[in-house]
Structure 1
Amino acid sequence: MDVAVLTFSGLPQLEPFDSPLLPALRELGLDARPVIWDDPAVDWRTVRAAVVRSTWDSHLRRDTFVAWAEKVGKLTRLFNPAETLRWNTHKLYLRELEAKGVPVTPTVWVARGATLDVDALMRERGWDAVVLKPAVSAGALKTHILPRAEARAATALVAELATGCEVMVQPYLRAFETEGERSYIFFDGALSHAVHRPPTLKSAPRGFSEPRAFTPEDRAELRLAESVMEAMARPLLYARVDVATDNEGRTRLQEVEVTEPCLFLSLDAGAPGRLARAIAAKL
């Protein structure tokens, strides 16, 4: 097999937005197939390259996933590499990027096993509502929005979440309700396309329900996305830089996804071919 496009048992044929990658690879004459990442029957020595895509259970078994990636990365070309997957599957990477000058959504980090007086924090920072989430998470798993009136409940929830992992406490960005997030998608370090996305958390109000492609016109925002790529300073087959507008009207990095983000290939006619050619160039 030339290219194993990795997914999980819940999406055996890949996430629908990203399934166009398979025919795009085949058009280049490559034997490309969806493969369940933890299928014990796969002999990775017979695969020329493995590309992590819809492995959407990886955050539920992060240690297992990272150990698997380190093993497979020694047997075939793995994209993105195992070291990058380890780095990106714990959101402490945001603190590293912030230290390099990237404007990140303000975050208070709560150590595993620690507590935080959320009411005192909200009064000190002037936050009307907070977002709580584990530092190892995806798809808004165990993510909560609480207003100041529920600060006592938020304090208890932080303590509960912190029993298993570090916790992130952030201000709720009201712009989510109308703008959602903007995702800038890069292949081999070059911008491919951009997508407006509604809030991931289903309980959040939303001004639109489906992701949609857009042409980047805000040069400052595009430059921010490019600066994130530069700050990571690592070779990446694919990356998705997610930004949003904070409550003071400034653009901030929300997350950078280089493990298993949806790349919304079906929303841009040229995107599947661009990613396929980037993969082919590495074979």
Structure 2
Amino acid sequence: MQVALVTYPAQPDLSSDDRLLARGLEARGVSAVPVVWQDASVAWTEFDLVLLRSTWDYHLHLDAFLHWVDVVGEATRLWNPPSIIHWNARKTYLDDLRSQGISVVPTHWLASGNVVDLALVLQETGWERVVLKPVVSASAWNTCLVHREATADGQQLLDRLLPSTDFMIQPYRSTVELDGELSLIFVGGTFGHAVVKTPRRGDFRSQEDFGGRIEATTAPTGAPEVAERCLAAVPGETLYARVDLLGNPHDGYEVVELELIEPSLFLEHGPGTVSRLLQAIVQRLAP
């Protein structure tokens, strides 16, 4: 049996998380191979299962990536499945979650091709500080924090990209500075472990690339239930998932993102989750 752990050109080798997976699969008699998704020489039919892992440039090549997903999905078993990838690629899925009664950070959508006065939008919404980012994005790409009294940088970003790129605006939740962003990791729809991601002082981005701190944590009361409702709203079966939440047990939780394409799963902080993920992969390799 052979499994492809899919990467991207800037990082063709496996991440530390995925090295854990590869070692675990090898120990179970399954060969695990890192493969760049854009590599045209790869015969995907040679793999018994293809697992999306660090395809962290998909948002820069969305049409090509989704076409590749469909091709691979026809050739072999792809996880998560193509239908899930298509649904999750645009953050408009947040509206689907909201329509099912799930608490989601409020979002104002800006369609590409329009001319938008950002200061006017903030005045109309009443939001003092907002996070501005593309509807298709990852790793805080072209994402900025904008204050109602200082919109120049955000306006320049919109003037440059909105002609061809859909954008979204969400109110900034300052609780992230104190409580961090809570990430809950699931395997096969079952909760595995949780981490809290805290931005470095003076920044709003919780990713490690920007100095964010990642720490294992016990899932607070109420958080797993919100995350489970998210997964129940997904239109299909998932092998892996990460639900990012803001809030606390007292005030409740809001969904920031539901990551089903190439999320960091922080497996180093959840050894039990590693075992469950390995078991789930092996089960999906069965004829």
TM-score strictly above 0.5:
yes
Task: Report the secondary structure of 2:179's partner residue.
Answer: coil
Cα deviation for residue 264 of structure 1 reads: 0.6
How many angstroms apart in 2 are the aligned matches of 1:270 and 1:167?
38
* 8 Å contact from structure 1 (residues 225, 241) kept in 2: yes
How many angstroms apart in 2 are the aligned matches of 1:228 and 1:200?
28
Partner of 2:255: 253
Partner of 1:263: 265
Partner of 1:90: 90
User: Per the alignment, do residues 115 and 103 of structure 1 end up closer, same or farther by CA in structure 2, a change over 3 Å counting?
Assistant: farther
Task: Report the secondary structure of 1:270's partner residue.
Answer: helix
Cα deviation for residue 149 of structure 1 reads: 1.2
Partner of 1:241: 243
Cα deviation for residue 126 of structure 1 reads: 3.0
**Comparing 234-243 and 5-14, the one that deviates more:** 5-14
* 8 Å contact from structure 1 (residues 45, 75) kept in 2: yes
Letter in 1 for 2:269: L
Partner of 2:213: 210
User: Per the alignment, do residues 272 and 202 of structure 1 end up closer, same or farther by CA in structure 2, a change over 3 Å counting?
Assistant: farther
Partner of 1:59: 59
Task: Report the secondary structure of 2:192's partner residue.
Answer: strand
1:140-183 Cα offsets, whole Å, 9 max, x none, are 00001011111355345334331121110111111122222111
TM alignment of 1:83-162, pairs within 5 A: 83-151=83-151, 153-162=153-162
Partner of 1:229: 231
How many angstroms apart in 2 are the aligned matches of 1:56 and 1:205?
17
**Comparing 111-120 and 169-178, the one that deviates more:** 111-120
User: Per the alignment, do residues 10 and 132 of structure 1 end up closer, same or farther by CA in structure 2, a change over 3 Å counting?
Assistant: same
User: Per the alignment, do residues 100 and 115 of structure 1 end up closer, same or farther by CA in structure 2, a change over 3 Å counting?
Assistant: farther
Gaps of 5+ in 2: none
How many angstroms apart in 1 are the aligned matches of 2:98 and 2:280?
29
Cα deviation for residue 74 of structure 1 reads: 0.7
Letter in 2 for 1:122: L
| Cα RMSD (Å) | 2.2
Partner of 1:21: 21
Partner of 2:173: 173
1:105-149 Cα offsets, whole Å, 9 max, x none, are 011001111233332333343322111100011000000101111
User: Per the alignment, do residues 249 and 148 of structure 1 end up closer, same or farther by CA in structure 2, a change over 3 Å counting?
Assistant: farther
Letter in 2 for 1:263: L
Task: Report the secondary structure of 1:194's partner residue.
Answer: strand
How many angstroms apart in 2 are the aligned matches of 1:75 and 1:18?
23
* 8 Å contact from structure 1 (residues 18, 262) kept in 2: no
Task: Report the secondary structure of 2:284's partner residue.
Answer: coil
Gaps of 5+ in 1: none
Task: Report the secondary structure of 1:74's partner residue.
Answer: helix
Letter in 2 for 1:23: R
Letter in 2 for 1:212: E
How many angstroms apart in 1 are the aligned matches of 2:54 and 2:254?
26
Query: How high is the sequence identity, in percent, across the aligned residues?
Result: 37
How many angstroms apart in 2 are the aligned matches of 1:271 and 1:201?
30
How many angstroms apart in 1 are the aligned matches of 2:202 and 2:22?
30
User: Per the alignment, do residues 115 and 95 of structure 1 end up closer, same or farther by CA in structure 2, a change over 3 Å counting?
Assistant: farther
Is residue 274 of structure 2 the alignment partner of residue 272 of structure 1? Answer: yes
Task: Report the secondary structure of 1:73's partner residue.
Answer: helix
Partner of 2:39: 39
* 8 Å contact from structure 1 (residues 240, 257) kept in 2: yes
Partner of 1:30: 30
Cα deviation for residue 199 of structure 1 reads: 4.0
* 8 Å contact from structure 1 (residues 15, 262) kept in 2: no
Cα deviation for residue 28 of structure 1 reads: 1.3
